[in-house]
Amino acid sequence: MNTPDQAPPARTITLRVNGIEHTVGIEDRELLVDVIRRRLTLTGTHAGCYNGDCPVTMNGGIVKACLVLAASADGAEITTIEGFSGGAGLDPIQEAFWAEDGFQCDFCLPGQLFATRNLLDSDPEPDERAIRGALSGNICRCTGYVTVVRAVQEAPRRSTVLSQRTLSFALLGC
């Protein structure tokens, strides 16, 4: 008799993850976080316990991958933390967290980064209260949040520097 792990997949779904299409066999009860981590081996999405560790974007909105049945994500466009910057380098938000020591063990980092992007998309210059409110779903056991707040405040400055640099290179024809 097959154990659940040995049972043949109940269904096949297709996910577009970080721009790459994957067709995977899954169990009906399987969670999106487990498909991302175990079947696609994208382990930057952490399997925590509702602390904000497993966020991904699904069709443009942030979801906690541990609260989504993989079957319901069939056909979805997903971005994990591995695809956060959209390229080889760091996104300005990641640069800011790095520069301001906005993390230590990094367990909470995916959640902090996705929540920061979400906040800055609607409020490019948030005050400390807005930052703490926007990140309140992400529990960090390491930093005490002071450096996290500083990182979020720093991120828009890095975005501006980056776009000025890109504009200069474009004007120089680089």
Report the candidate in 112, 122, 70, 65 with the shortest Cα–Cα distance to residue 91: 112
Distance CA 125, CA 159 (A): 12
CA-based torsion, 160, 165, 167, 168: positive or negative = positive
Q: Which of 15, 66, 140, 155 binds ligand FES (CB under 6 A)?
A: 140
Residues 169, 161 contacting (CB under 8 angstroms): no
- For the chain, the farthest-separated pair of C-alpha atoms sits apart, in whole angstroms, at 68
Q: Which of 7, 10, 67, 105 binds ligand FES (CB under 6 A)?
A: 105
Report the candidate in 52, 114, 127, 49 with the shortest Cα–Cα distance to residue 83: 114
Our measurement of the distance from residue 21's CA atom to the centroid of its chain's CA atoms, rounded to an integer in Å, reads 18
How many residues sit in the footprint of ligand FES (CB under 6 A)?
10
Within 107-126, the residues that bind ligand FES by CB under 6 A are 107-108
Distance CA 43, CA 59 (A): 20
Nearest to ligand FES of 77, 98 (CB atom): 98
Q: Which of 79, 94, 143, 147 binds ligand FES (CB under 6 A)?
A: 143
Q: How far is the CB of 78 from ligand FES (least distance, A)?
A: 23
Stretch that binds ligand FES, among 57-65, 119-127, 139-147, 165-173 (CB under 6 A): 139-147
Stretch that binds ligand FES, among 9-17, 25-33, 41-49, 98-106 (CB under 6 A): 98-106
Q: Which of 84, 103, 114, 145 binds ligand FES (CB under 6 A)?
A: 103
Chain positions contacting ligand FES, by CB under 6 A: 103-108, 140-143
